[in-house]
Structure 1
Amino acid sequence: MAGAASALFLLDIKGRVLIWRDYRGDVPAAQAERFFTKFIEKEGDPQSQDPVVYDNGVSYMFIQHNNIYLMIASRQNCNAASLLLFLHRVIDYELLDEIMDFGFPQFTEAKILSEFIKTDAYRMEVTQRPPMAVTNAVSWRSEGIRYKKNEVFLDVVESVNILVNSIGQIIRSDVVGALKMRTYLSGMPECKLGLNDRVLLEAQGQTSKGKSIDLDDIKFHQCVRLSRFENDRTISFIPPDGAFDLMTYRLSTQVKPLIWVEAQVENHSRSRIEFTVKARSQYKDRSTATNVEIELPVPADATNPNVRTSIGSAAYAPERDALVWKIKSFPGNKEYMLRSEFTLPSITAEEAVPERRAPIRVKFEIPYFTVSGIQVRYLKIIEKSGYQALPWVRYITMAGEYELRLT
């Protein structure tokens, strides 16, 4: 890493130092406090939004968390992105002396850092050894882990993001996926995961029974051996203990909306408004969406709701200015309807500006289904003691930012 932090400061909303940790002794607290107080007073200055500022030989990097500013100052030519990431980790860990060593960030797993934390007042004696994972090459996993029953749970979770404009055109469409693991394994297990990845199958001269996939923006947990993946597309790793995201990815091809919603809005004599809503599932019959929730925006002054639905239940939520239609089970290739009527104030200004309606928001989950078609071909677990561990794999697709705008 190029350069290191000089000090870390926690400041209040007015820029006054609450607490600080001096790592290198070349940026005094008074200097940082004077700079930051002037900086936050620059209201309206576009540069005041920048998280990195250089002033008088010192680089200042900061983020805000609730009413506290966390700021790192450095006199060296530092890696600003790394230090900003470090500040976000500070919010999670709050172990200033363990996650930074003489100004150099140490990105240690939270489960390993928890070994430093005790419920009672505690000071590590000089004669005590640090946790094994701090000195071990596998820094994300401690040695000596034991379970009576060795299990691995792998959830393939995909979130669908859709934005449809008021004339029915899709203006945003993508899928963000994650392989979420929970491992309860003894010892130091070696895991190998195989997917229906097109590049891998072609390299091995194999064909998949289903379709092969192309994924973008693949990111791995630090436990994955990247050199091995780059050489032969094998996902090989020693997993952390417990829950972690093994891999995230994105599917950039345009996705057909899984649940399509159309709404017609009619105003009657300025005293009544009527909604007709159609919801249609656009996936195959063998799949079923669960916990479907369609949030239909209504005017803030609407009263006396009268609602009829062909399935599920609908309730007026005045605190959200919305009618919420809930459907527990929504099979594929089905269409359902909702009709609702609200009373409006009978007196309105003739030149009132038309109210801009919020979009329709949709939530759902579809188990045993992925948009990308990703499949776990195998998950092998090898440990020197020779125990057998049964992996459990689940697939689920859910709504992310899923919005359809009204006219």
Structure 2
Amino acid sequence: MASQIHFLDIKGKSLLSRDYRGDIDTSAIEKFPLLLLELENTSNSTGSATDDSNYRPFIHHQGVNYVFINHNNLYICALTLKNENIMSIIIFLSKLVEVLTQYFKHLEEESIRDNFVIIYELLDEMMDFGLAQTTDTKILKEYITQDYYKLIRNTPSRVVQPPNAVTNSVSWRKEGIFYKKNEAFLDVIESINMLINANGQVLNSEILGEVKIKSHLSGMPDLRLGLNDKGIFNTNEETGGSTNAKGIEMEDIKFHQCVRLSKFENERIITFIPPDGEFTLMSYRLSSTQFLMKPLIAVNCKTKVHKHSRIEILCSVKASIKKKSTANNVEIVIPIPDDADTPKFVPEYGTVKWIPEKSCIIWKLKTFPGGKSYHMKAELGLPAVDNDDNYILKKPIKVNFSIPYFTTSGIQVRYLRINEPKLQYQSYPWVRYITQSGEDYTIRTK
């Protein structure tokens, strides 16, 4: 998979290296900064520097493949001679960054210099002779810890062995887990990204969904999950007939490593032995081409400019959700001019706060029942302003919210069966649905 792993600073200077196979000259990494500069210059000359479709995370030079990712002004680079799968190496480097971040909280040049020993130990456990091994942080933390290498030394009479999970087929879960009360909590969380124009029309939208599980189960439980997704379930497993429920076609489905992919590919069934604790079982995406969406929280803002004195903002917000649903912690972030001062607010409901360092006002509504609408009036003084109605709201309005017991896509958990063949205990899962605003739920103002 990889012959060498290198950590380099932003200038290409090597900070830490690990040679697994010895088939590549150790000086080969010294050519990487020049090759990277040449790649960037080539991209700039062709006008594709900002085009993501032309981005490639590898360089081939004199028979050596340089595969790299960038993180916090660091380059993590893998060298290989063979014609390897580039994406598998990229995924391993990303997992390496994730593991180191879990250990040091922030992976940067200083944290690498301060933790040479533990990084070398992690590199040796995560990869053997250039082949990826254990990449689960929970398993690695069981026998590789910072305190261990500071306080304890191995002796012939005391040799710390890796847990069985490392050599077990179920590497993400250790044996001997026991709980007095066996429970499993499942959350279906959908984040909505939406771009809305000033007239309230949706220009673009997507749903990013995650199925998260918090497992407090003893032994080695085997779980089976059923969803009303026609891309996965074409038949009703309870009766053997076809399902009448309206299916949802998911895109970009990504599973946790515990899911049996062969079972899913052959029988379209999600079965797995879960890790202990919290983890993301699967993630998916639903594009706007599959459904017509209306803004769940619709906002309309109008401005009235009084020349050389003040600006008035008239804002209305409506919850376009079912009356039995309630949106919680709604925030409407309205941009204002940098030099605005002396604000006055008259909200019909909720509270309004002026954030001068971010040049915005935030209207907060703790609970927002479906079908309701509220109004807010704000008045801000300005030292000098032209009589331009578009002056104040040049930036889009951002909306944050959370709606429990509701999913926009209509996805539902049909069942979650739990079976532990040895202990034979009974456990009843808890299922919760949450719809929330994504990172890009915005409303244009012009």
TM-score normalised to structure 2 length: 0.83
Measured in 1, the distance between the counterparts of 2:278 and 2:56 equals 34
Which stretch has the larger CA shift, 154-163 or 19-28?
Answer: 19-28
Counterpart in 1 of 2:401? 364
Q: Deviations over 1:263-292 (max 9, x none)?
A: 112222143222111111111100000000
1:14–1:231 Cα change, 3 Å: closer
How far did 1:129 drift? Answer: 4.2
Conserved? CA contact 1:24–1:102, under 8 Å: yes
Measured in 1, the distance between the counterparts of 2:392 and 2:59 equals 41
How far did 1:367 drift? Answer: 0.5
2:36 to 34, 39, 53: 39
**Larger helix percent:** 2
Counterpart in 1 of 2:183? 151
Identity, in percent, stands at 48
1:380 to 414, 417, 429: 417
Counterpart in 2 of 1:16? 13
Conserved? CA contact 1:14–1:37, under 8 Å: no
Residue 429 of structure 2 aligns to a residue whose secondary structure is strand
Across the two proteins, how many residue pairs are aligned to each other? 401
1:347–1:196 Cα change, 3 Å: closer
1:311 to 349, 354, 372: 349
* Match status 1:325 vs 2:360: no
How far did 1:59 drift? Answer: 1.5
Letter in 1 for 2:338: A
How far did 1:51 drift? Answer: 2.3
Measured in 1, the distance between the counterparts of 2:264 and 2:31 equals 49
Letter in 2 for 1:11: L
Letter in 1 for 2:27: A
1:387–1:275 Cα change, 3 Å: same
After TM superposition, the structure 1 = structure 2 runs for residues 215-254 of structure 1, keeping only pairs within 5 Å, are 215-252=250-287, 253=290, 254=292
RMSD: 2.5
Q: Deviations over 1:44-99 (max 9, x none)?
A: 55268642112222121222222322111222212221112211111122421111
Letter in 2 for 1:13: I
Conserved? CA contact 1:108–1:139, under 8 Å: no
Measured in 1, the distance between the counterparts of 2:266 and 2:191 equals 29
Conserved? CA contact 2:335–2:392, under 8 Å: no
Residue 323 of structure 2 aligns to a residue whose secondary structure is coil
Letter in 2 for 1:150: N
Letter in 2 for 1:334: K
2:148 to 105, 113, 120: 120
Residue 120 of structure 1 aligns to a residue whose secondary structure is helix
* Structure 2, unpaired ranges of 5+: 50-54, 101-121
Measured in 2, the distance between the counterparts of 1:14 and 1:38 equals 12
* Structure 1, unpaired ranges of 5+: none
Q: Deviations over 1:237-270 (max 9, x none)?
A: 1111111111212222232210011111222214
Letter in 2 for 1:200: F
Letter in 2 for 1:326: K
Conserved? CA contact 1:86–1:107, under 8 Å: no
1:51–1:271 Cα change, 3 Å: farther
How far did 1:319 drift? Answer: 1.3
Measured in 2, the distance between the counterparts of 1:259 and 1:107 equals 44
TM-score normalised to structure 1 length: 0.91
1:51–1:228 Cα change, 3 Å: closer
Conserved? CA contact 1:365–1:396, under 8 Å: yes
Counterpart in 2 of 1:390? 428
1:207–1:76 Cα change, 3 Å: closer
1:397–1:342 Cα change, 3 Å: same
Letter in 2 for 1:160: I
* Match status 1:98 vs 2:120: no
Q: Deviations over 1:206-265 (max 9, x none)?
A: 445x64433333222121222322333322111111111112122222322100111112
* Match status 1:405 vs 2:441: no
Conserved? CA contact 2:298–2:319, under 8 Å: yes
